[in-house]
């Protein structure tokens, strides 16, 4: 099973979170969220892309409050300016919409990396963005 992961580029104030498992459950959300938000460079990040392509959120209704709590709690200062969820199914779109409705930064969802780059407007080129996202 492939594990979800993240990578930060603090010098570019940019991070990527990949959900790589077919089914995203509460345990996985807690694991990736804890690692990402406790990273020493978390407060350096202004632009975040969260890739949900090929994933399927599998939460019980009773888990939704905990998922939202995990997403909105910040053990360090959150300096995100913009975040974008890249989605490809109705379920990932609904999940992204739920998360976006509970965040303070400008947040979007879309279906392509090109559109994600446009929404983020990071201070580096699209080709550099693709290299970082696809690494």
Task: Kindly list the structural domains of the chain, giving each domain's residue range(s) and its CATH number in brackets, ordered by start.
Answer: 5-133 (3.30.750)
- Whole-structure pTM over 0.85, yes or no? yes
Q: Tokens in use for 119? A: 């929404």
What does the pLDDT look like over 44-100, one tens digit per residue?
999 999 999 999 888 887 888 888 888 888 888 889 999 999 999 999 999 899 889
Provide, rounded to the nearest whole percent, the portion of the chain with pLDDT above 90.
59
- Range name among 28-42, 56-70, 95-109 with the lowest pLDDT average: 56-70
- pLDDT reading at 29 higher than 90: no
Q: What is the DSSP letter of 31?
A: H
- In the DSSP assignment, the letter for residue 4 is P
Quote the pLDDT of residue 6.
Answer: 95
């Amino acid at each position: 099973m492939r594990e979800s992961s993240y990578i930060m580029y603090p010098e570019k104030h940019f991070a990527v979170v990949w959900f790589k498992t077919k089914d995203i459950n509460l345990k996985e959300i807690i694991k990736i969220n804890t690692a990402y938000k406790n990273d020493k460079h978390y407060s350096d990040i202004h632009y975040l892309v969260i890739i949900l392509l090929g994933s399927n959120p599998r939460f019980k209704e009773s888990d939704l409050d905990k998922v939202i709590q995990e997403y909105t709690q910040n053990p360090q200062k959150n300096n995100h300016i913009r975040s974008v969820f890249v989605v490809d199914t109705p379920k990932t779109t609904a999940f992204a919409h739920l998360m976006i409705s509970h965040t303070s930064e400008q947040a979007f969802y879309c279906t392509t990396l090109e559109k994600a780059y446009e929404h983020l407007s990071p201070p580096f080129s699209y080709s550099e963005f693709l290299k970082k996202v696809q690494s």
